[in-house]
């Protein structure tokens, strides 16, 4: 009988479960959307019970599609949207408040205050991050400060905090395991990435009780067993990674200098910097790629807040496409954008701008601009934003990028991938299997289960790829980049009072 690795892929807009066989082939997929809640402009929330119910439902459905039982699952690996913050009652399991999603900007003013008070450099040196509403720490503080009774219960040890991986592990194990791992911990702005522990100085600064924090383990290791009430039996959970680190792992970016870009709800560029953290002078963040028993790998990361969600905006708000897949066909109806540029700064701009107050803009509109130009300009914005990040990454490393590995849903858009190669001037490499985040979760769990002995065994797997080569003159490339940069200036600081 064939055996399977179960990958839980807890994304921002959907929960998914993918079952891989021992050859790394996708054999079953289940996916369910997660409801997004927007209580105020700039606020983004989700119901934690939706995250849990859709995820466990996907796991059961993926198994039922193959007609298998828990005995056929070797292990479970988890990848997850990272900075999204959940606090729940330790005794009842009920959420204290909605999950505050990584995109949420409600704590932007407080982050500015941290900078004004002179704490930014200390936070960067310890955590690799800049004070920003993107990360978990200020979200935790907001809940403790604004939900009646939350702080008192937290101080008495009756409330637990977790990123989505931690919450799902706690739920899957029936409340027996409150644990995360180093890649997710490094996204909270509370974890010292050099000393590899929760940082007391930052906890005191933000008035966050240590009692709510989970244990931090290795990325490939023991996270307990699923409770038999969910999938019929106890399945070992042996690997956890934040979604972007899981993608880096799934792309076999195990060597210093290896780089990938994931085009999901946002776009996330990560470059492996080896066993030493590299600090950016250009607005990138330093993060932990993964922590294994014998090594911790670090990465430079540029986070682009809006990528695939811009396509959802075309579909759901503007309603000029019926499905996300339509975007490539519609964009191909025109040869260019007719000098129209879309800057999708719906929730601010991430790296390298870090402008929490930027908002979306469409510039260069003339009477000749039609919906096809706007669709194409929206697609191209992902490539421009990615180039912005790569350009400063090259400066930090004092080296040039030679190839870019890509994955995620929007990487299936050939028009976008060709434009990405054109605007970068380097080859863009897409694996035939673009589900590299889920694959990374499966591989890290296989490593944690002992199925693989080391990273070299994983790297021997044959990965088939598609290559996109640049086909744009330097002159046209630079002209387009200059126009893009001008367009960005119109979106900056828009929401600042």
- Dist. CA 181–CA 220, nearest whole Å: 9
Q: Which pLDDT belongs to residue 461?
A: 62
Query: pLDDT > 90: what percent of the chain?
Result: 79
Tens of pLDDT, residue by residue over 466-479, are 899 999 999 999 99
| pLDDT band with cut points at 50, 70 and 90 for residue 112 | very high
Quick check: 435 pLDDT over 90? no
Q: Which pLDDT belongs to residue 107?
A: 95
- The reply to whether the predicted model has a pTM over 0.95 is no
β-sheet bridge partners, residue 95: 88
In this prediction, residues 311-330 reach a mean pLDDT of 94
Quick check: 462 pLDDT over 60? no
Question: Which tokens go with 162?
Answer: 């977790």
Q: Which pLDDT belongs to residue 37?
A: 94
Mean pLDDT taken over the chain: 93
Tens of pLDDT, residue by residue over 373-422, are 999 999 999 999 999 999 988 888 888 888 899 998 899 999 999 999 99
| pLDDT band with cut points at 50, 70 and 90 for residue 255 | confident
Residue 237 φ then ψ, to 5°: -100, 110
- Dist. CA 373–CA 370, nearest whole Å: 5
SS (H, E, C) the chain: CCCEEEEEEECCCEEEEEEEECCCCEEEEEEEECCCECCCCCCCEECHHHHHHHHHHHHHHHHHHHCCCHHHEEEEEEEECCCCEEEEECCCCCECCCEECCCCCCCHHHHHHHHHCCCHHHHHHHHCCCCCCCCHHHHHHHHHHHCCCHHHHHHCCCEEEECHHHHHHHHHCCCCCCEEEHHHHCCCCCEECCCCEECHHHHHHHCCCHHHCCEEECCECCCCECCHHHHCCCCEEEEEEEHHHHHHHHCCCCCCCCEEEEECCCEEEEEEEECCCCCCCCCCEEEEEEECCCCEEEEEEEEECCCHHHHHHHHHCCCCCCCCCHHHHHHCCCCCCCCCEEECCECEECCCCCECCCCCEEECCCCCCCHHHHHHHHHHHHHHHHHHHHHHHHHHHCCCCCEEEEECHHHHCHHHHHHHHHHHCCEEEEECCCCHHHHHHHHHHHHHHCCCCCHHHHHCCCCCEEEECCCCCHHHHHHHHHHHHHHHHCCCCCCCC
In this prediction, residues 441-451 reach a mean pLDDT of 95
In this prediction, residues 145-172 reach a mean pLDDT of 96
| pLDDT band with cut points at 50, 70 and 90 for residue 460 | low
Domains of the chain, each with CATH number or no CATH: 4-243 (3.30.420.40)
In this prediction, residues 212-238 reach a mean pLDDT of 96
Tens of pLDDT, residue by residue over 75-98, are 999 999 999 999 999 999 999 999
In this prediction, residues 308-315 reach a mean pLDDT of 93
Half-sphere exposure of 278 (CA within 13 A, CB side): 27
- Dist. CA 471–CA 475, nearest whole Å: 12
């Amino acid at each position: 009988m064939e055996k399977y690795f179960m990958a839980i892929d807890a994304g921002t807009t959907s929960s998914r479960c993918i079952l891989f066989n021992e050859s790394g082939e996708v054999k079953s997929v289940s996916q369910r959307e997660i409801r997004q809640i927007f209580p105020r402009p700039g606020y983004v929330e989700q119901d934690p019970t939706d995250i849990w119910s859709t995820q466990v439902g996907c796991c059961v459905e993926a198994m039922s599609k193959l007609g298998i039982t828990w005995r056929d699952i070797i292990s479970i690996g988890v990848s997850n949207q990272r900075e999204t913050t959940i606090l729940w009652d330790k005794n009842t399991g009920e959420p204290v408040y909605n999950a505050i999603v990584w995109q949420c900007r409600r704590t932007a003013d407080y982050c500015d205050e941290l900078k004004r008070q002179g704490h930014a450099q200390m936070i960067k040196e310890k955590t690799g991050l800049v004070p920003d509403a993107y990360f978990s720490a200020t979200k935790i503080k907001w809940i403790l400060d604004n939900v009646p009774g939350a702080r008192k219960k937290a101080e008495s040890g009756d409330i637990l905090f977790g990123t989505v991986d931690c919450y799902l592990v706690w739920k899957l194990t029936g409340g027996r395991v409150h644990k995360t791992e180093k890649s997710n911990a490094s996204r909270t702005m509370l974890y010292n990435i050099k000393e590899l522990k929760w940082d007391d100085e930052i906890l005191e600064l933000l008035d966050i009780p240590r009692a709510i924090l989970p244990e931090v383990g290795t990325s490939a290791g023991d996270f307990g067993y699923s409770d038999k009430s969910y999938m019929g039996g106890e399945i070992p959970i042996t690997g956890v990674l934040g979604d972007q680190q899981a993608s880096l792992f799934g792309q076999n970016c195990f060597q210093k200098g290896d780089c990938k870009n994931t085009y999901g709800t946002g776009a996330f560029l990560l470059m492996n910097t080896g066993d030493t953290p590299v600090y950016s002078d250009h607005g990138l963040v330093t993060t932990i790629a993964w922590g294994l028993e014998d090594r911790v790998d670090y990465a430079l990361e540029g986070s682009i807040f809006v990528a695939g969600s811009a396509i959802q905006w075309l579909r759901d708000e503007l309603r000029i496409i019926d499905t996300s897949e339509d975007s490539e066909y519609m964009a191909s109806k025109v040869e260019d954008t007719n000098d129209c540029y879309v800057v999708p700064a719906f929730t601010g701009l991430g790296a390298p701008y870090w402008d929490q107050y930027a908002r979306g803009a469409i510039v260069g509109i003339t009477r000749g601009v039609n919906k096809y130009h706007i669709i194409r300009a929206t697609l191209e914005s992902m490539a421009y934003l990615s180039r912005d990040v790569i350009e400063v990454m090259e400066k930090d490393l004092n080296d040039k990028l030679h190839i870019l590995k890509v994955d995620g849903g929007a990487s299936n858009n050939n028009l976008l991938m060709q434009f990405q190669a054109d605007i970068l001037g380097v080859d863009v490499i897409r694996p035939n299997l673009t589900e590299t985040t889920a694959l990374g979760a499966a591989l890290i769990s296989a490593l944690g289960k002992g199925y693989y002995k080391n990273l070299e065994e994983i790297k021997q797997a044959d990965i088939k790829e598609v290559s996109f080569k640049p086909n744009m003159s330097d002159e046209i490339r630079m002209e387009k980049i200059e126009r893009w940069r001008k367009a960005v200036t119109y979106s900056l600081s828009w929401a600042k009072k």
